[in-house]
Amino acid sequence: MELRISKLSKTYGNGVVALDNISLTIPTGMFGLLGPNGAGKSTLMRTLATLQECDSGAVFFGELDVLDEKDEIRRLLGYLPQDFGVYPKVTAYEMLDHFAVLKGLSQRTRRREVVDGLLQQTNLFEVRHQRLGGFSGGMRQRFGIAQALLGDPRLIIVDEPTAGLDPQERVRFHNLLSDIGEDKTVILSTHIVSDVADLCANMAIINKGHVLLCGKTQQLIDAV
């Protein structure tokens, strides 16, 4: 489903203009939001994830008013924040199982199926009974995706997911994201060009709260 962002603005209390009248149309599939540190990516991601208020503007996911119908959008949303933290003493299986209950998956056998499926999809099934505190950065990020995928979301937002990953883990993470499915709307926020070049059919470049370029990744890359 298409996500339409229209004239979104946000100025923080300290006077920093993080989003300056941003308009963007994000089609179904993988969309890359590329920009340097401080560009406004996280502010935009948090706003789309309904975790932060903006000053003005509108966002629609299909017919759904994202800024207004927060409960509805949260049901359709999977979000992996930039500063994703884990409970160190809980195992991967326990944590996902817990979130599955919160998502309303009350039936035990069904829940087990879903949780095992996600652990397999993110290549964490072998380590499912290990505590999250012992996970490497790459394992944590893959766990974050498993958590974000609970409840079969239609809109998935991942904020700087590959920052700090070594090249091997980055490849593994890329493979995971590209498998998530073309029928979902996935927004990948990153400052790493190859994240977008490898994964996203469409992209935008933002800086200082402005959209500099938006379009098909191949065309934008060919033009440079």
- Rounded to 5 degrees, φ, ψ at 20 are -120, 85
Residue 131 CB, nearest approach to ligand ADP (Å): 10
CB of 106 to ligand ADP, least distance (A): 30
Beta carbon nearer to ligand ADP, 32 or 151: 32
- Site residues (CB under 6 A) for ligand ADP? 12, 14, 16, 18, 35, 37-43, 123, 126-127, 136, 138-139, 166, 169
Class of residue 70 by CB neighbours under 10 A (exposed 0-12, middle 13-18, buried 19+): middle
Smallest distance from the beta carbon of 32 to ligand ADP, in angstroms?
Answer: 13
User: What number of helices (H) and strands (E) belong to the chain?
Assistant: 8, 10
Q: Which is nearer to ligand ADP, 18 or 100 (CB)?
A: 18
Task: Specify the residue, 91 or 123, whose C-beta has the smaller distance to ligand ADP.
Answer: 123
Sign of dihedral through CA atoms 147, 73, 156, 8?
Answer: negative
CB of 35 to ligand ADP, least distance (A): 5
Smallest CA-to-CA distance from 186 within 150, 153, 219, 221 is with 153
